[in-house]
Every structure is written in C-alpha cells, then in structure tokens.
Structure 1
C-alpha cells in the first residue's frame, strides 16, 4: 500500500518533464491521476494507458488550457466528479521566454503570468473547498530558484515565480487548520523540454554558443555543476504528501544544487 493509496491527484503540465515524473511517482504510491497538457491525443492516450497498466491505478487526461481560468476550474471540477475527490493538486504547468525587458513581447509576458501563476490561483480556488471539507489535502506548486533570485532577461518568469511564493504562503495560512498543506518546490535547472527550448533565445540574448549557455549560464548557477533530475523533484513531491511532512506548510523547498545558497 503506497502512501497515496485511495487518493486522487491532479497534476498540470504533466505530459513531459517534471509534471510527468511527479504523476508517475504519485501513481507508484497508489494515487489515481488526472494528467494535463498539450500532447496529441495519441501520445496522451499512450501515456495514460501506460500509467494504468504499470501502476494499477486509474488515469485520465484533461486538455484544459492553462491560459483560460474557466477551463482550469472545469478541469478540477471534472476530476472531482470522475474520482470523487481531488486530494492532491500539483500546479506544474509553465512556459518561459528569454528577452531583454525593452523588447519583451507583450503577449509572452501575459502568457507567462497566466500559465505560471494565474492558473495556480484558479486550480487552488476550485480544489481547496473539497480538501477543507474532507480535512486532508496537499497542494504543491512547482516553483523555481527564480522564486528566490533573479536572472537577466527573464522578467516575466521571475515575476511569476516570486508571485507563486506569495500565493503559496497565503493559501497555507488560510488552510492551516483544515489538514491541508501548501508548499512549493523550487528546482534549479532541470533538464526538461522547458529548459532546452530556452537555450536558443539565451544564445541570442547573450551572444553565446549552446555549450557556453549550458556551462557558463545554466550550470554556472549550480555549485554541484549538475542538472537536477525530474526524479529528484518528484521524490520531494512524494515526501510532501507523506505524514512526515504534515507540519510543513507555506514553505518553498530548494532543489537547486546549491544555487540559492550563494
């Protein structure tokens, strides 16, 4: 029996990278899973069936657009209707754009704030009442080292992740007497499609080669000189769902190879 046996989890942005690793780790602990993302129906059906087959849990998919608050709300409501509850909510969906602020596209700024921060507001607003009523819940926000420190050319992302810190703390206080914990995980650079896609923009913004970006920009921030793995982040998420973490709430846990220790 896993620690999440009979529990139901919603993980946004879970078609690849950190989100998919968290979804699979939760399934391994017995949770039924609602996946969410932008993969093709064929790709998502293959992943959904693989999780059900491998872990013996129920798995469904929502294609809710994280840009749209009504769709985010509906995703949570539909998950509750399908499984009977949403016990664990992971706000993981995120996008990135790298550009000096004077040329930062307005539409990119708005999309990053909507997907990286506003979507979490809507999902929490929808999921928290049921968690309070049942007296148990875990809300985990995938944040970033950029919730604690800044980097050039990432104004929207840094603003959104700093906002996530404040949202995490506030909801943690509101839910503290209801058996619901609210925490954020702040990874450093994890080798995911999100990080890989920002390399060309960073090459352009800093006039560097790909290898220079990896070693002189990305891993330069992390004293371990290693990328964080998605499995390491997923392991922290599982821990936050355990009884050992029930007095941890309102925290931002750094998983960043020592980046923010500097």
Structure 2
C-alpha cells in the first residue's frame, strides 16, 4: 500500500488529490490541512477509510514539527512516505507589481510557498519518514518560470511569481541534497495549469480533475532521470 502525504487538502488542488487517490483502498493518505477547526466537510466527504487528516499550518515551523510527530504516530514503524505532494500555497494581492509590493504579503507568500515545503521535507527526512525512492512534488506555477513570466503582458502576481521562482530554486537544491541519504529520490516541480480553484481566481478554464489526473500520471511515471525537472500537468517540460 503506497503512502501519500499531501498538504493543503481542505480545498482546491489538495482536495482533488485526495479525492482521486482515495478511490483506491490500496492508498494510505496523510491529508494535511491548515487547521482542524476549519470547515473540513468537503475533505471528509472524499476521504477513504485509509485517509488520515492531520493539522499542518505550513507557514508555522512549530506546526510542521507537530505535524511530523503526528505522521510518525500514524504510520508507525513499518511505513514510510512514498509520495510527498507539497500542494499548499497562496497567491496574495495578485494586482501588485514589482513597483508596489507589500512587504508583509510577500513575506507571507515566501513563508508558505517556499519555507513551508523546505521545512516539511527537512523534518520528514530527519524523522526517517521518507522512503528511499520517495517522489516529491512541489507545486509551482508557470508564473515561477523566468521565461514564461517575461512573456506575460501585462505583468501580474509579482509577489506570487517571486515566491514560486524561489520554490523552483529550492527544488533544484533538494533534488541533489536528498540523494546522499535517499539514493532513489526524485524531486520535481509541477505547473498545474490555470485551474478553477479559489487560488486560480476568475477566468480559470481548467477543471481540477483534469489537472490532478495529469499530474498523477506524470508523478507515477517518474524515473531517476527526471530528478530536478519542471513539468506542466500535461507532461510537457517547463522552461526555467
């Protein structure tokens, strides 16, 4: 039974990951949500008997520490995470450009979109909770691509783009740094496309089911040669 660990599962892409993966009783799912006191009706509705809902505020390092302890208790000594999907993310003040960035909002986006995935991987590794062949998916965006962002007219989502470019560089480092302890590891970035979620906002055209279905197909077909790559949900490689 493969073990999946997914962040940001109370809505959007994370919720759809759980919905699709929970259709197989063979999958053990650790579904991380920012707060157990928030409305989890949608998540509970799609969860399987082998889905475990745990609290993890990815903007708070202490919360990540507590989450890792919960994962250890949930999995016990005989299971490790085979697929880690860092799906939690925020896009604040999309109208802001590089000329009117709010420091507070930029710091929040960096905390959730970059530091969160960094500490989750680090602390799960320290707790020996990642399998030797773990597949790690960090959720990026075409807006995090230097080439793609340079082609967007007019510019938008400056703070979000900056944070996702930071996540891209984090992933490049993780893909190499983790190999010393996990020889079979594969770490990738995914652009989910412009999906109809609260984060996607008005104008999004892609259904979550199509985006997640494509990403899971890519994820399950990864080989060692894909380590450190940046993919579109369709399987196309994204330029840096």
Aligned position for 2:68: 76
How far residue 11 of structure 1 moved from its aligned partner, in angstroms, is 0.9
Q: Judge conservation of contact 1:188–1:257 (CA < 8 Å) in 2.
A: no
Q: 1:154 to 1:91 in 2, by over 3 A?
A: same
How does the TM-score come out when normalised to structure 1?
0.74
Q: Judge conservation of contact 2:11–2:43 (CA < 8 Å) in 1.
A: no
How does the TM-score come out when normalised to structure 2?
0.80
How far residue 58 of structure 1 moved from its aligned partner, in angstroms, is 1.6
Q: Judge conservation of contact 1:35–1:60 (CA < 8 Å) in 2.
A: yes
CA distance in 2, matches of 1:103, 1:173: 35
Q: Judge conservation of contact 1:131–1:137 (CA < 8 Å) in 2.
A: no
DSSP-derived class of the 2:85 partner: strand
Q: Return 21-30 or 161-170, whichever deviates more.
A: 21-30
CA distance in 2, matches of 1:61, 1:41: 12
RMSD value, Cα: 2.8
Aligned position for 2:120: 123
Q: Judge conservation of contact 2:22–2:46 (CA < 8 Å) in 1.
A: no
How far residue 77 of structure 1 moved from its aligned partner, in angstroms, is 2.9
How far residue 246 of structure 1 moved from its aligned partner, in angstroms, is 2.4
Aligned position for 2:7: 12
Q: Judge conservation of contact 1:140–1:182 (CA < 8 Å) in 2.
A: yes
Gaps of 5+ in 1: 1-5, 200-213, 219-226
Q: 1:234 to 1:70 in 2, by over 3 A?
A: same
Q: 1:44 to 1:51 in 2, by over 3 A?
A: same
CA distance in 2, matches of 1:136, 1:125: 16
Describe the superposition over 1:70-124 as per-residue Cα deviations: whole angstroms up to 9, x where unpaired. 2123213311221233332111111112213343322111111111111000101
Gaps of 5+ in 2: none
In structure 1, which of residues 192, 195, 204 is the aligned counterpart of residue 200 of structure 2? Answer: 195
Q: 1:75 to 1:38 in 2, by over 3 A?
A: closer
CA distance in 2, matches of 1:100, 1:159: 11
2:31 equivalent to 1:35:
yes
DSSP-derived class of the 2:91 partner: coil
Count matched residues: 223
How far residue 240 of structure 1 moved from its aligned partner, in angstroms, is 4.3
Aligned position for 1:233: 211
CA distance in 2, matches of 1:136, 1:230: 27
In structure 1, which of residues 245, 251, 256 is the aligned counterpart of residue 222 of structure 2? Answer: 245
2:82 equivalent to 1:87:
yes
Aligned position for 1:159: 162
How far residue 257 of structure 1 moved from its aligned partner, in angstroms, is 11
